[in-house]
Chain A
Amino acid sequence: GNSVTQMEGPVTLSEEAFLTINCTYTATGYPSLFWYVQYPGEGLQLLLKATKADDKGSNKGFEATYRKETTSFHLEKGSVQVSDSAVYFCALSPGSARQLTFGSGTQLTVLP
């Protein structure tokens, strides 16, 4: 079956530090890959997505590249801000089914 393995947290960084959250997946076929973010007290929000190999998703300074050869979709940001503090979830969907398989989530705290 499908599965997503995500870097364990929590992660604590200083403002303007570089962020990487690792994500690898196991799936049949060619899934779509996502990063969702959950701010305190709010629902999950789509941060970025990639629907085919070598696609790069980007939003709000975050980036992730769909690497089929390494089955990875690592999240990166060059300079984090305090407002980026949240829980980040990597997820996949088998095509258009839209049923998501999630990683365990990574809590990010950015200190001023």
Chain B
Amino acid sequence: GAVVSQHPSWVICKSGTSVKIECRSLDFQATTMFWYRQFPKQSLMLMATSNEGSKATYEQGVEKDKFLINHASLTLSTLTVTSAHPEDSSFYICSAPGLLGSYEQYFGPGTRLTVT
């Protein structure tokens, strides 16, 4: 089946620095990708929809200037957490939808971000 990778799988950074997380579709093209955030023992919450070649669509309450999303190619979307703070520590997961009408989504393994 289709594979989505994320890099890094985990990262520790200091407050005030920025961190970039990559999401790649390895064997298929994805004009759309989704970014989710998951707190311990809680749901995955949709943060934004990443669109290749255009601006991302952010969910209500998500700061677009803090969580910068770039979808520069059909196989890569990046999420940059700018000026990170400890409250940004979380598990970030991306996904890419399958063929239209299939209802399938392919998820990356996630990135654990810890801000100290």
State the A residues within 8 Å of B (CB). 4, 32, 34, 36, 41-46, 49, 51, 89, 93, 96, 98-105
Contacts and interface: CB of A to CB of B under 8 A. Distances in A.
A32 B101 CA distance: 12
Interface size class of B (residues with CB under 8 A): 20 to 34
Contact of B103 (A43, A93, A101, A103): A93
Contacts of B95: 43-44, 100
Given A32-B103, A96-B101, A99-B34, A43 B108 contact: yes
A29 B84 CA distance: 38
A89 B93 CA distance: 14
B interface secondary structure, majority:
strand
Contact of A100 (B4, B105, B109): B105
B43 A43 contact: no
18 contacts: A4-B43, A34-B103, A43-B93, A43-B109, A43-B110, A44-B105, A46-B103, A46-B105, A49-B103, A93-B103, A98-B97, A98-B105, A99-B49, A100-B44, A100-B105, A102-B44, A102-B45, A104-B41
Given A43-B4, A43-B93, A44-B93, A99 B46 contact: yes
Contacts, number: 54
A99 B58 CA distance: 12
A46 B104 contact: yes
Interface of B: 4, 32, 34, 36, 41-46, 49, 93, 95, 97, 100-101, 103-110
A34 to B, nearest CB: 7
